[in-house]
Structure 1
Amino acid sequence: MTEVVLDCFYRPAENLAVARLEFSLTNTGKKTLQSFTLAYSAMTRAAANASLENAEGLTRIANFHELSPPSGFQLEPGKSWNFVVQGLVNPARHRLDGPKSAYITVFGQIIEVLCNDLDTPPDSDTGERRNVPIGMVDLPIHIVPWPQSIGVSAWTDKITAFHLSEGTSEEKAAAAKINGLSKRLFPDAPFPFRFSASANTHALVLRHDVALSDEAYGIEFSDDQAVLSYGGQPGRDYGLTVLAQIAYGAYVDPGTYRFPATGTIADSPRFGWRGTHLDVSRHFRQKNEVLRLLDILAWGRMNVLQWHLTDDEGWRLEIKAYPELTSSGAKRGPGCQQVGQLGFSSEIYEGSYSQDDVRDIVSHAIDLNIDIVPEIDAPGHSTAVLKTYPKFADQAEPDNSYHSIQGYPNNALNPAMDETYDFLEKVFAEVASLFPSEFIHIGGDEVDVHSWLESPKAQRLMSEENLTGTLELQAYFMGRVRKILAKHGKKLAGWDEVSHGGGIDPDGVLLMAWQKREVTKELIDQGYDVISTPGQHYYLDMVQASGWREPGASWAGVSTPEASYAYEPSDGLDESKLNQLKGVQACIWSEHLTDNALFNHMVFPRIYAVAESGWTSPDRKNWQRFAAASAIFPTL
């Protein structure tokens, strides 16, 4: 039973130095509390020079804050301690920007505190909420993403499934695999494929067509059978998945969706890279959840998962050369090397994947035609590493000499230390052995521009290599990392900041353009191959409406489901350089996604909007049709 409750009220101001968070900690228990400290984590952070009212002793590490009531204060049952933090780093815009979790410490005992949503004056709330309309179906067939060409001349209500009586063992195994995918996603629905003729089933014939590309397929429906032609294994599986979607739509919503009796579908993807990024550092996802997300991607014919395995908040991948990365670096909370962040502060929050877990997940992905690209974030976002192995920092570099945008002090691996590259050599060797992907994503984002400038070793390297400032140091680092990856047969992928400070030779390098939509063109003009993933449209943690009660982040603004669907990644690109736009990617950052209810609210249906942008030609898209279909999309 919760015995302490924390309310928080936001008082905005044009000048963040006078913006305030007003707190009220209420004792709902039966015992008087005294000589305690309060710790809370909140996205709206106190500034370094924040002032306190009726509180003292503020310390802050990123989103973690700890302070105390005035000396001698007693919090009696039913009473409240009211205090103020004035001076904020960033404004609050939505209800989850306040304390996500909190606890008090009384004589070494941890007592969890219930945190209510952040409140704000009514004039700060537009009242707008996420809106996905009921939509309107132009053809009564359920397929997502929408095919490049579809024409149906007649429909039938007599078919409930397809039967594959003839065909090779590989073709039947593929149909059984898609049966399994459908059953995992929709356990209450019937299988779409049978292997002997029966009442109300339609004969299915599979044909390999060497004239089709590897991911292409075509379907011809006639009165007596459906013929699925395919170019390669992915195209075969995609065609079977489309048939499974048709069957599922007709089953779950027969008033809207039907089986084609006669007609054709001709289809192939627009882009070769149709990806989703998943952050498991901020909030860990269990193995079974990752497996289900892969199923969801396969249902939407997405073919890449960028797995964000490391960040400041936790290292999630077993590395046998450095076992402490998961025994210690994957933990945060009371008594850990890292304090609580982003929820669950009162407990030890932990989670990691063994290498056997990874092999199982990679195997499942390969079976679904999905490439898993591991991300080991460097040189920034490395607090989990540097807290676990302090020896990897320049011991002569002053503490707190720089801070990341998230507020972490000295959180970047030092490019001037041999230990940095010895560490990455061993890590990437193991990562390369686990993931067959062509690329390893090395992050490269959000390194503070003051990083390493007070490191004597970095100063010496800059003098020796004629480097100026942090960005050129990072470019030097990227060049060395690229050589390490090449030794293990891997290419470098990274965020768009990899191009900063002079960048690296773009040959074979793949960059994700995330900061704003214009970056896609800028990187392409520099010669890089690019994945479009602008935060304003494809970051699925962004709020979906301006209203205060809508959950999510807002640094990139509001990203409505319709805006995500409508975004066209090729706008403004020179036609001669379109081949450098390799695809699109949704990004699931998890700072706000503390449970599956929030995950599903934020991620769906926008992840399928990105899937359709990656697959479907712009002139074939239809928002109202997509919105109608979204009612039966699978979720986590």
Structure 2
Amino acid sequence: MIRYLFLFSVLLSNAFFSQTQLNLIPYPQTLQLNAGNFTISDILILSNELPKEETDYFKKKLDANIKFQHSGKSDAQLVYSQLPKSNNSQQNNEFYTLEVLPKQILIKSYTKQGYFLALQTLIQLIESNQNNKKIPCLKIEDQPKFAWRGMHLDVCRHFFTVNEVKQYIDYLAMYKLNTFHWHLTDDQGWRIEIKKYPKLTEIGSKRKESMIGAYVDNTFDGKPYGPYFYTQEQIKEVVKYATERHITVVPEIEMPGHALAALSAYPELACTKGPFESATKWGVFDDVFCPKEETFTFLENVLDEVMSLFPSQYIHIGGDECPKTRWKECAHCQELIKKNNLKDEHGLQSYFIHRIEKYVNSKGRKIIGWDEILEGGLAPNAAVMSWTGVNGGIEAAKSKHFAVMTPGSFCYFDHYQGDPQSEPNAFGGFTPLDKVYSYNPIPSELNAEEAKYILGVQANLWTEYILDFKQVQYMIFPRLMALSEVGWGTSDQKKYKEFEGRVINQFKVLDKMNVNYAKSIYNVLGKVISNNSNGIAYELSTSQNSSGIKYTLDGTDPTATSQTYQNPIPVSKSMTIKSAYFENGQIKSAVSSQQFTISKTTGKTITLEEQPSENYSFGGAFTLIDGIIGNQKQLGKTWLGFQGKDVVATIDFGDKTPFSEVSFNTLENKGSWIHLAKSAQIFVSDDNKNFKLIKEIGKDEIQNSKGKIKLNVGNQNSKYIKIKIENAGIIPAGNPGADSKAWLFVDEIGAN
């Protein structure tokens, strides 16, 4: 496992660089520009000795613009040499060199995989220089930092055809990702044919309808969905297609939770008698696999067929979001806990995972699972996919287990990537391109030896709100490019703007491929900033020239003659600011709109006793006093989320300030484990030490207000106000995620 990062250096003259921009993603580890160019003629002469499958891919990618001939090595323009096996442990199977000379292009590598990666670099060089038909002479020595560079696709919530899955794999290959994580089973659908259990696809691959719109709307389309699944022949076809592109397909078979589709077909595998049906809602459900012998027999048989189709070293067994409600009520489960001296139901989950791992290991494979497989103790050889944050990966690495880092706050591509008000409906969160690019997969808590257990990085695309493949494209592009450079190990936050320029250049390639990528990068971004601790200002920016930003303060759409943005806009009263980017008098972006509701807390100093989850922490504590009211249907950048924690916020007015009303917003979305607050208390103080309780409300009042809280607190005059909002605690039985810690979402704390 090689994690050596070459020192990044570009050896070139300033004059030459000013004329040449290398639009490569991911950027190579070392690149030396030399004098001269290689001219791309209508015919490119290829050496007869080039590896065939990889070269056929190269020709197919470029055949619209270039014709190809084959010749001996001495006459060829593209030549390949296989490097002798190296004793240098810092060079791996994906290492390659690419040298462009005035008359010839030379590629060297240890393996065909390295050759294939070199071709991806060459394709980008050719595509970005098609106008002048020249590519600069250069020498690249390159290899990735991380062995696992992955993208995930959920085909259970919404299904995608074999051809669409192949397109997805092509996108990974273009940007040198090497792992395709195929999420094949879940509550909402079973998508892989298992010949021993035909009812899995006869029954489990369909559902009677699907949830549509925002989760809180609780609206359904009334249309039967499915049956949709992949036959084993189609699976083999996809695996072969990926293998030809040097991409490993890792299948995921969910257990012990997310099992409703399987239980709808084989209800005897549950703790209760059912009946069950594939879920029509999104979220987490109480009915899971019961850890009895017939269940393990079933799963072992399923895994036998899965392993016969997928040659990957790792088999993903899920392991996430498994409610323990049914196990607590199940006599068999309780007896199993006693018989095996398990501590509790979390210990039973560990027992379940250990059983499955032992079986998978007996077949010469390894398991990987979401970080909940750490519950009750990690199986001996298991790898962890750390999604709830980075702690799962840290715990795994410190105990000498491999981990793939995929934290939701950086790597969940079902999150919004632009202003939620101008984006298609998404799951929630806010993960723009620059945030993905800023991610470092190696946690700072690990020492050099422990860091060796970080296999790499992956982004996940869950498809609850993604109805078709055009939307898949929209959600992964251009964020996949940022992930690519993070995984390669050449991302540099200080050079983000330069990376952004390379991304925009790549849009030309995506346009030719008819890819529906997100253009959020062009949109005007708004950021609320403190205005000398005495109010707020609205800072606007764009990837383009900021002089092209036009804005209005009266709620009307901006035009080419509207006010030009120069400095952050002071916001001293409630208003709506709209902005857009213009070039040559023409609008080039979506219109961004932001409504502000100003109160006496807006822009003041705020501290939190507990910090929000990193997945829902955009803007930090300042989000609670930034003058923006969170949208109840969009868990984007305007909410802070806390799992299992109370919110205790103290706001410093600066001076004694009169007020008589306090307001805040909390949220309910039980399918996503989000519950209204249990209670709230308001305190005041003049010294930030001695606080007086002035108001207290309970669950009923919060429930009746539907989370939009406005409290009359009498005539107050204080320097500090403290609000304690109590988390609902452990989710009760009968709710999705029962026995787990509830989420508390809070927004804008106001006083008037």
TM surpasses 0.5: yes
The residue aligned with 1:439 is 314
The equivalences for 1:228-627 within 5 A come to 228-251=107-130, 254=131, 259-333=134-208, 345-395=222-272, 407-415=283-291, 417-505=292-380, 507=381, 509-553=382-426, 555=428, 557-572=429-444, 573-619=446-492, 622-627=495-500
Q: 2 CA distance for matches of 1:205 and 1:620?
A: 36
Deviation at residue 437 of structure 1 after TM alignment? 0.6
1:452 aligned counterpart, secondary structure? helix
Q: Is the 8 A contact 1:281 1:310 kept in 2?
A: yes
Q: 1 CA distance for matches of 2:139 and 2:237?
A: 37
The residue aligned with 1:72 is none
The residue aligned with 2:531 is none
Matched AA of 1:207: S
The residue aligned with 1:133 is none
Q: Which runs of 5 or more structure 2 residues have no equivalent in the other structure?
A: 1-16, 211-217, 517-752
Deviates further, 581-590 or 519-528: 519-528
Q: 2 CA distance for matches of 1:274 and 1:460?
A: 42
Match of 1:148 among 29, 36, 39: 29
Matched AA of 1:472: G
Q: Is the 8 A contact 1:164 1:205 kept in 2?
A: no
Q: 2 CA distance for matches of 1:267 and 1:162?
A: 27
Deviation at residue 216 of structure 1 after TM alignment? 0.8
Q: Is the 8 A contact 2:286 2:325 kept in 1?
A: no
Deviation at residue 546 of structure 1 after TM alignment? 4.5
The residue aligned with 1:209 is 83
Deviations 1:539-584 (A, max 9, x none): 11011135333235455x3111111111111141222211101111
Matched AA of 2:100: F
List structure 1 segments (4+ residues) > 6 angstroms apart after TM superposition: 396-400
1:583 aligned counterpart, secondary structure? strand
Tell me: CA distance 1:471–1:203, structure 2 relative to 1, closer, same or farther (3 Å): same
Deviation at residue 272 of structure 1 after TM alignment? 0.9
Deviates further, 602-611 or 353-362: 602-611
2:128 aligned counterpart, secondary structure? helix
Deviation at residue 248 of structure 1 after TM alignment? 1.4
1:349 aligned counterpart, secondary structure? coil
Q: Is the 8 A contact 1:208 1:231 kept in 2?
A: yes
Q: Which runs of 5 or more structure 1 residues have no equivalent in the other structure?
A: 1-135, 184-188, 336-340
1:332 aligned counterpart, secondary structure? coil
Deviation at residue 349 of structure 1 after TM alignment? 3.2
Deviation at residue 178 of structure 1 after TM alignment? 1.9
Deviation at residue 596 of structure 1 after TM alignment? 2.8
Deviations 1:281-310 (A, max 9, x none): 011010000111111111111111111000
Deviation at residue 163 of structure 1 after TM alignment? 2.8
Q: 1 CA distance for matches of 2:461 and 2:209?
A: 27
The residue aligned with 2:101 is 222
Deviation at residue 196 of structure 1 after TM alignment? 5.7
Q: 2 CA distance for matches of 1:570 and 1:192?
A: 44
Deviations 1:170-212 (A, max 9, x none): 53553222222456xxxxx424854369xxx981221111246
Matched AA of 1:140: Q
Q: Is the 8 A contact 2:442 2:454 kept in 1?
A: yes
Matched AA of 2:483: V
Deviation at residue 388 of structure 1 after TM alignment? 1.2
Tell me: CA distance 1:395–1:261, structure 2 relative to 1, closer, same or farther (3 Å): closer
Deviation at residue 141 of structure 1 after TM alignment? 2.3
Deviation at residue 227 of structure 1 after TM alignment? 1.2
Q: 2 CA distance for matches of 1:138 and 1:478?
A: 57
The residue aligned with 1:88 is none
Q: Is the 8 A contact 1:175 1:193 kept in 2?
A: no
Deviation at residue 360 of structure 1 after TM alignment? 0.6
Q: Is the 8 A contact 1:404 1:447 kept in 2?
A: no
Deviation at residue 157 of structure 1 after TM alignment? 7.9
Q: 2 CA distance for matches of 1:396 and 1:591?
A: 28
TM-score calculated relative to the size of structure 2: 0.59
Aligned length: 477
Deviations 1:228-280 (A, max 9, x none): 111111001111121111111222xx38xx74342211101111111111100
RMSD: 3.0
The residue aligned with 1:117 is none
The sequence identity of aligned pairs, in percent, is: 32
Deviates further, 173-182 or 437-446: 173-182
